Amino acid sequence: MTEQANTPIDWQARAQALRLDGRLLIDGKRWDAADGRCFTKVSPGDGLALPDIARGGAADIDLAVKSARAAFEDGRWRLQSPAQRKAVLIEWSRRVMQAAEELALIETVDMGKPIARSLAADVPGSARTLAWYGEAIDKIYDEVAPTGADSLALITREPLGVVGAIVPWNYPLLMACWKLGPALAAGNSVVLKPSERSPFSAMRLAELALEAGLPPGVLNVVTGYGHEAGEALALHPDVDGIGFTGSTRVGKRMFEYAGQSNLKRMYTELGGKSAVLVFASSDVEKAAAAVAGTLFYNQGESCNAPSRAVVHASVADRFVEALVAQAAHYQPANPLNVKAGMGALVDSVHADSVMRMIERGHAEGARCVAGGHRVLVAESNCYVEPTIFDQVHNRMHIAAEEIFGPVASVISFDTEAEAIAIANDSPYGLQAGVWSNELSQAHRVARALRAGTVHVNQYNDDDITVPFGGVKQSGNGRDKSLHAFDKYTELKTTWLRIDLA
Ligand code: NAD
């Protein structure tokens, strides 16, 4: 930290002084798009224009893939020892923390989340991810199969080769690091395609990697639109695997791209409509605080947001009252204000889509008990109040579809079986929660829920040490933990005959 501990940072002044570079980063150098095209976006917090961003297309992706392939084949990174790769990743993580204020500011200016959160969660979480995979890579042993005395069968993990990482805008740095940490630690080369709605932090992250000693070409960043740069990367015949995080709609396309090209490995982290089950025995007020905290956190733009609160009828009124009281802490404010409980949605197009869903909730007969309005802050129309609908039925659109905004649906139930059926009645299966002070019930229900993660009597706990991912249409494969290496490595068997004579 460069500031005196007791001097508050003037984030507005810092934002005005921020210099952003929207060019591509290929082979260790900054480039304009091959055809010279750019696109622009505004900062959702105040609607002010940000610098031009290179509109990468198929030619730029091809250049980036060639650079990554050359780096992979000549072994400038892959053939470094695990301990050497570890040292680079740890130095990269250190530099990320050194640049924490700058990176946090980029994230907030680019996509609207509160600066205090960017600084306290996104940047340290990203740094920890890089360091954790660096630390892990020289502690993982390969296997020797239990064959017989006359043979030696080695089971080794090999890097995939060239990995494409396509990431969304809601946690731009963190989602990139969830891919880059394990993919690079394992020795792959990577082409990263950040979201067109939040491209700036990825380029700065890649510059810091170069400064930390990652050889040029090992990590390339191509900005651009999904249907141009993203599609070209997913279709590229010389890309060996894709780590994709984004919507279920685009996730389905990813498998088509794999089929249309080279059957590249395809791993997807997709949408969610997570349910939290609140039973009568639970601490209802605590449950409401946890739902508010994780749903309104990041403006509701979290894949695992507990957007369906499924509450026992006997405590539903108490729960709703407590949730409404909690919503007061998350009123939208300029994200550069350190006290902002909630910031701006990523852009006005997304705010329009959240408002359409709120209108739909009204039209379908749900009762809006808090929020429901768009508000103007700092002359930007990207802000939506924390909104709570009560008396929701699970088949209403607001309960069935991912809104990706600060909108809660409260659904009541009478029996445990009914609660489980409601929670599982969704095409998604990312996360779920159970609040119950009856031990057997908590275990029983947790087992019955079809989700990648089930939280019991909390919803916020998380760490790089545990896998993250979903079942059903929330995706396949897992980010985080040692299991993430499964996505970025292939198992190889090498069988040697030993002459016993
Ligand atoms: P999105 O699917 O619109 O875009 C994600 C990325 O894919 C972006 O980089 C985009 O440019 C690219 N893309 C878009 N169309 C493409 C195409 N045709 N071909 C190739 N690439 C394409 O998603 P989004 O709006 O950026 O992110 C929000 C979604 O991400 C939500 O559904 C959310 O639940 C999900 N998400 C999931 C997780 C998880 O871990 N499961 C984490 C964060 C976000």
**DSSP secondary structure string, 284-319?**
HHHHHHHHHHHHHGGGG--TT---EEEEEGGGHHHH
416-454 confidence digits (pLDDT tens):
999 999 999 999 999 999 999 999 999 999 999 999 999
For ligand 1, whether the C-beta of 475 sits within 6 Å is yes
Task: Output the residue whose Cα is nearest ligand 1's atom 4.
Answer: 246
Q: Which among 308, 252, 281 is positioned nearest to 430, based on CA atoms?
A: 308
For ligand 1, whether the C-beta of 169 sits within 6 Å is yes
For ligand 1, whether the C-beta of 224 sits within 6 Å is no
**Is 303 part of the annotated catalytic residue set?**
yes
Q: Give the separation between CA 180 and CA 479, rounded to whole angstroms.
A: 11
Q: Give the separation between CA 63 and CA 42, rounded to whole angstroms.
A: 28
Ligand 1 center to 268 CA (angstroms): 10
Residue 103 CA, distance from chain mean position: 16
Pairing of strands 29-31, 471-472: unpaired
Report the residue among 247, 264, 270, 352 best suited for mutation to probe ligand 1: largest number of ligand atoms under 8 A from its CB. Answer: 247
Q: Which residues of the chain have pLDDT under 50?
A: 1-3
In ligand 1, the atom with minimum distance to the C-alpha of 196 is: 11
Q: Which among 37, 291, 265 is positioned nearest to 159, based on CA atoms?
A: 265
Q: Which among 306, 323, 276, 342 is positioned nearest to 113, based on CA atoms?
A: 342
Predicted local distance difference test score (pLDDT) of residue 1: 47
Predicted local distance difference test score (pLDDT) of residue 4: 54
In ligand 1, the atom with minimum distance to the C-alpha of 168 is: 26
Report the residue among 245, 352, 430 best suited for mutation to probe ligand 1: largest number of ligand atoms under 8 A from its CB. Answer: 245
Predicted local distance difference test score (pLDDT) of residue 5: 61
For ligand 1, whether the C-beta of 227 sits within 6 Å is yes
Ligand 1 center to 173 CA (angstroms): 14
In ligand 1, the atom with minimum distance to the C-alpha of 470 is: 41
For ligand 1, whether the C-beta of 404 sits within 6 Å is yes
Place of tokens 């103007």: 376
Set 107, 196, 228, 269: catalytic member: 269
Set 207, 303, 385, 402: catalytic member: 303
For ligand 1, whether the C-beta of 234 sits within 6 Å is yes
In ligand 1, the atom with minimum distance to the C-alpha of 195 is: 9
Q: Phi first, then psi: what are they for 109, rounded to 5°?
A: -65, -35
Give the contacts of 291 (CB within 8 A, at least 6 positions apart): 276, 306, 309, 323, 326, 408, 433, 459
For ligand 1, whether the C-beta of 270 sits within 6 Å is yes
Predicted local distance difference test score (pLDDT) of residue 209: 99
Q: Which among 154, 216, 171, 208 is positioned nearest to 189, based on CA atoms?
A: 216
Q: If you write DSSP's letter for every residue of 42-108 in order, what string do you get?
A: B-TTT-PBPPPEE---HHHHHHHHHHHHHHHHHTTTTTS-HHHHHHHHHHHHHHHHHTHHHHHHHHH
The pTM (predicted TM-score) of the whole model is: 0.98
Task: Output the residue whose Cα is nearest ligand 1's atom 18.
Answer: 227
Predicted local distance difference test score (pLDDT) of residue 460: 87
CA distances 33 to 19, 62, 67, 207, 228, Å, are 19, 12, 15, 18, 12
